[in-house]
């Protein structure tokens, strides 16, 4: 069935501590953002023993404004681009009084309530940074962390990496020629319209953050120029009075059928060519969706000028490839992020050009016991996908799931990775892109198959998995 969480889906609150089964693989979770909290909940309810480290003093990751860990890109006007029923965890709907697209503070409150509802807040260790994760033989991992009490090293049979992928700023490469007299910031450092007030602003990029910052600049800045190198289909958040993403199709349907919804949404939202934006060289559904209800109106009012890519920086302005020039004293580079893992050696894991093939975007077949949660860019929200990944890992560690042979895992991984590359145009932005409903359907099917395999095997399936599962 298509993913759409309804109020009656709420699970019962957990009011008594869940007993820990010390015979299960001891596990470490890195990060207490949206992905980390749902993974921790799954392990907690399964009785898996784990340590959970968060470098800051609060949960919420990217959805906490001015997160003390310094990694959040949240800004004052940020709201979700996926409607609440499509973003919520499967067993914990968002409050009925939330707007169709919740604000960042409402999303953070939702995460806080989620942790309290399932009763696992006591498992978090705050203000602790994971400095290094290394292999210790074939069956264990060593995690070195630093916190208020100094440095410690723990040994684990499994590590769940949930450190997010929207924090390491990606700047333009190569650097544009010329010099600039004004201020330059990355979109990650944008917080409020106060930073734009009275400025001659140039926003570089065509994603959701670029659109939001340009729209806010239309109200606060002296002038706004939006520099777009490649055209994008910009969808409206509402169609016929309803959130546009709630028109959903079953995940088992072929991708071209699923993509039809995005194409219809793009056509219904209207072309941006008449507003000066270049026509996208790809079809709707072949890129990560961009949504904005205001960008068209602000351009039409003359508050935002649209220009092509930058040719060079020019003192108190910017020159574009079409020869036009815009006065500027602030450039906001909305140019995306680099996927990095500062605690993993590049010789162990390196996402070159943001590309890191994984089985079901979770498992690296050469590194048993290392799992990635939320390292995915869905056409939709990441939270339900991270929830499904966390539940899958909990089943693996508790012996309720057994994987197929290694050869089958590698074959599936290669097939899925190549399929996703064909579906989306080539760019660092799309190396982890998946279709929301289709991904959930495929993962649910694999979990059912693995549960059947586990039921027919003798011994702990978790040991089978963590030893590398040789064919």
Q: What percent of the chain has pLDDT over 90?
A: 73
Euclidean distance between the first and the last CA atom of the chain, given in angstroms as a whole number: 33
- Output the CA–CA distances (angstroms, integers) from residue 170 to 174, 442, 471, in the order listed: 11, 31, 40
pLDDT at 7 over 90: no
Residue 471 lies in a domain: no
Are 285 and 397 part of one and the same domain?
no
Domain coverage including residue 116: 7-167+338-466
Please write the tens of the pLDDT for every residue from 126-151.
999 999 999 998 889 999 999 999 99
Are 327 and 389 part of one and the same domain?
no
CATH number at residue 112: 3.50.50.60
Residue 173 lies in a domain: no
Residue 363 lies in a domain: yes
Contact 371, 160 (CB under 8 A): yes
pLDDT at 463 over 50: no
Contact 206, 228 (CB under 8 A): yes
Q: What percent of the chain has pLDDT over 70?
A: 91
Are 92 and 13 part of one and the same domain?
yes
Strand, coil or helix: 440: helix
Residue 171 to residue 156: CA distance in whole angstroms: 36
Residue 25 lies in a domain: yes
- 307, 333, 359 - which closes a domain: 333
Please write the tens of the pLDDT for every residue from 316-370.
999 999 999 999 999 999 999 999 999 999 999 988 889 899 999 999 999 999 9
Are 205 and 111 part of one and the same domain?
no
Are 161 and 194 part of one and the same domain?
no
Residue 432 lies in a domain: yes
Are 343 and 320 part of one and the same domain?
no
Are 185 and 161 part of one and the same domain?
no
Residue 1 lies in a domain: no
Give the pLDDT of residue 287.
Answer: 78
Are 132 and 229 part of one and the same domain?
no
Residue 285 lies in a domain: yes
Are 357 and 458 part of one and the same domain?
yes
- 333, 360, 394 - which closes a domain: 333
Are 26 and 155 part of one and the same domain?
yes
pLDDT at 249 over 70: no
pLDDT at 470 over 50: no
Query: Which residues touch 261 (CB under 8 Å, ≥6 apart)?
Result: 247, 248, 249
Are 19 and 146 part of one and the same domain?
yes
Q: What is the mean pLDDT of the chain?
A: 90
Residue 431 to residue 169: CA distance in whole angstroms: 16
Domain total for the chain? 2
Residue 2 lies in a domain: no
Strand, coil or helix: 326: strand
pTM of structure: 0.92
pLDDT band for 468, please (50, 70, 90 cuts): very low
Dihedral sign for Cα 309, 312, 316, 320, please.
Answer: negative
């Amino acid at each position: 069935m298509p993913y759409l969480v309804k109020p009656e889906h709420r699970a019962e609150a957990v009011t008594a501590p869940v007993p820990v089964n010390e015979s299960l693989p001891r596990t470490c979770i890195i990060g207490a953002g949206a992905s980390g909290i749902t993974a921790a909940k799954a392990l907690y309810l399964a009785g898996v023993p784990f340590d959970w480290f968060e470098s800051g003093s609060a949960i919420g990751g990217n959805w906490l404004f001015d997160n003390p860990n310094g990694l959040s890109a949240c800004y004052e006007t940020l709201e979700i681009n996926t409607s609440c029923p499509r973003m919520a965890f499967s067993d914990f709907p968002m409050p009925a009084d939330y707007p169709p697209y919740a604000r960042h503070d409402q999303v953070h409150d939702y995460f806080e309530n989620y942790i309290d509802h399932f009763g696992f807040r006591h498992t978090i260790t705050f203000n602790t940074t994971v400095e290094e994760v290394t292999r210790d033989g074939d069956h264990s991992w060593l995690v070195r962390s630093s916190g208020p009490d100094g440095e410690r090293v723990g040994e684990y049979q499994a590590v769940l990496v949930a450190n997010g992928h929207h924090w390491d700023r990606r700047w333009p490469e190569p650097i544009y020629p010329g010099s600039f007299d004004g201020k330059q910031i990355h979109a990650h450092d944008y917080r409020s319209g106060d930073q734009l007030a009275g400025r001659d602003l140039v926003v570089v990029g065509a994603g959701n953050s670029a659109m939001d910052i340009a729209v806010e600049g239309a109200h606060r800045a002296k002038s706004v120029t939006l520099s777009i190198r490649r055209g994008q289909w910009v969808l409206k958040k509402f169609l016929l009075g309803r959130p546009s993403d709630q028109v959903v199709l079953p995940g088992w349907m072929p991708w071209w059928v699923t993509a039809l919804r995005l194409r219809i949404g793009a056509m219904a939202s209207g072309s941006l060519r008449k507003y000066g934006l270049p026509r996208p060289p790809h079809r709707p559904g072949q890129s990560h969706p961009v949504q904005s209800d205001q960008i068209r109106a602000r351009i039409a009012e003359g508050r935002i000028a649209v220009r092509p890519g930058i040719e060079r920086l020019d003192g108190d302005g910017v020159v574009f490839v079409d020869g036009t020039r815009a006065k500027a004293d602030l450039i906001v580079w909305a140019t995306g992020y680099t996927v990095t893992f500062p605690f993993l050696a590049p010789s162990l894991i390196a996402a070159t050009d943001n590309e890191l093939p994984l089985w079901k975007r979770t498992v690296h077949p050469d590194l048993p016991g290392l799992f990635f949660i939320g390292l995915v860019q869905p056409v939709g929200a990441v939270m339900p996908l991270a929830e499904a990944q966390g539940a899958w890992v909990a089943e693996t560690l508790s012996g309720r799931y057994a994987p197929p042979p290694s050869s089958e895992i590698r074959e599936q991984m290669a097939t899925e990775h190549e399929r996703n590359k064909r579906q989306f145009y080539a760019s660092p932005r799309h190396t982890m892109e998946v279709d929301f409903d289709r991904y959930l359907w495929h993962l649910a099917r694999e979990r059912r198959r693995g549960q059947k395999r586990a039921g027919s095997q003798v011994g702990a399936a978790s040991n089978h998995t963590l030893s590398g599962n040789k064919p």
